Every structure is written in structure tokens, then in C-alpha cells.
Amino acid sequence: MTTHVLTDTGVLTGRSLRHISRSPDTIITTAVTPTALMLLFVYVLGGAIDTGTSESYIDYMLPGILLITIASGVAYTAYRLFLDMQGGIFERFQSMPITRSSVLWAHVLTSLVANLASIAIVVAVAFLMGFRTGASVGAWLAVVAILVLFTLALTWLAVIAGLSAKTVDGASAFSYPLIFLPFISSAFVPTDTMPAPVAWFAENQPVTAIVDTLRALFGQEPVGTDIWVALAWLVGILVVAYAGAVVIYRRKVS
């Protein structure tokens, strides 16, 4: 049974990846907005922002930019899933001996691959703009693991949006609040510079803990309790989103 699931998922993931390989503008478009934000903040606004640290502003802001990259990329998962639903692909799959869960996992794994490619582009641009880190191999692996977990959590939210949406615009619109969330966090400015109510929200939402963890890993600093708060948020969102997506999917295909 496990082998059957893995085989089905592999075949369907290959199908989705072929679609992306024929239209690489998806990955490029996902990387354009974060890159534009880096250029804007570093070369236009960065000089007026006091982060209270000695690190360069590109080093300070990159973790937040990486999260925005992922939040932008998962919108395409909801979009592709919606098109499959509307195009009758799911009904066609139901008539074939394919494991039901493999259909969703194929979209999720495709999202993971596409987002990692977009992140690689953004990180490469960041290095060209002056980003520097002395992070060890272990720290880099921890960064990648957190970004993978973040991608999976947001992608399962995208699956819910793709399955539930009534229109194409509605399928991808769910990502707008996710893209905006890093701006009300420690991603671009310290939270203690914000008005008290905004600062309270910023300090108690998941993005701040994730950003602070990534920043500490890049800066070779102790991560403290931030990493456990970040992991609690990510695992919690992932579990709830996965369960919700499975329930909605079963209702759709039953």
C-alpha cells in the first residue's frame, strides 16, 4: 500500500513539475516581487531604518523576504488546484486506480520544489546585494528545514483555498494576508519601534518567531526560545491545515 501511494504521488508530481518546467515564468514571477522589495528597502528606505544592530540591513531583512517569497509562491498551488478541479481532472483520476491522497500530495510537493527554486534565486540576488553570513552547514540545514516546514504549512492552506474557491481570483487571493503579515512583524523593523497594540500583535504572531530564528541562525547567534515558538506555530498550522484540506477534499470527491 505504501509503495502504491509513493508511486502514484511520484507520477502525479512529475506531471505537475512538467507543467512548471514548460512555464518557468511561475518561478521567476514569484522571485520578482521579493527581489523588488529588497531593492526598495535596501537602496531606498534602508538608510532611514535603525534596526538597533550593527548588521547590514540586507542581513536584517532577508529572513522576512524569504517568507514573503514562499507566501507569494503558494498562491500558484491554489490556482493550479482550482484549475484541476474545474477542468474535471479529479473526476478522471477517480476512475483510475490512483490513491486519493496522492493527488493532493503531488500539488504540495510541486509547490515545495518550485518555492525552493524561487528561494534560491532570491538568496543569490541577496548575496549580490551584499548579504553575508558565517552560518555553519548545520545552521544552513536548520534554515532550510524551517523554510520547508513553512512552505508545507502554507501550501496546505493553499490546498484548502484551491478546493474551496468559487473563482480563479478567489483561489489565489487568500495569499494576500500571508504576504502582508511579515510587514507587521520583526521582519523589517524592531517591534519595539511600533505603537503598543501593533507591537503586541507583532510579537505574538508566528512570523516574528520564525524571522528571529532565521536571523539568529544566519548571524551565528543563540536562537533561544524563538525556535521552539516558531516550530510550535508551524507544526500547529500544518496539522490543522492538512486535516482541513483532507476533510474538504473527501467531500469534493465523494
pTM of structure: 0.88
pLDDT digits (tens, 9 = 90+) for 69-113: 999 888 888 888 887 776 666 556 555 556 666 778 888 888 888
Higher-confidence residue of 2 and 219: namely 219
Please give the Cα distance from 208 to 193 (Å, whole number). 14
Query: For the chain, what is the mean pLDDT?
Result: 83
Contacts of residue 82, Cβ cutoff 8 Å, sequence gap at least 6: 162, 163, 165, 168, 171
Residue pair 188/38 in contact by the 8 Å Cβ criterion: no
pLDDT digits (tens, 9 = 90+) for 43-53: 887 666 766 66
Average pLDDT over residues 132-137: 91
pLDDT-derived band at 178 (thresholds 50, 70, 90) equals: confident
Mean pLDDT, residues 154-176 taken together: 84
Write the pLDDT tens digit of every residue in 205-229.
999 999 999 999 998 888 889 999 9
**Closest-CA residue to 67 (of 204, 193, 206):** 206
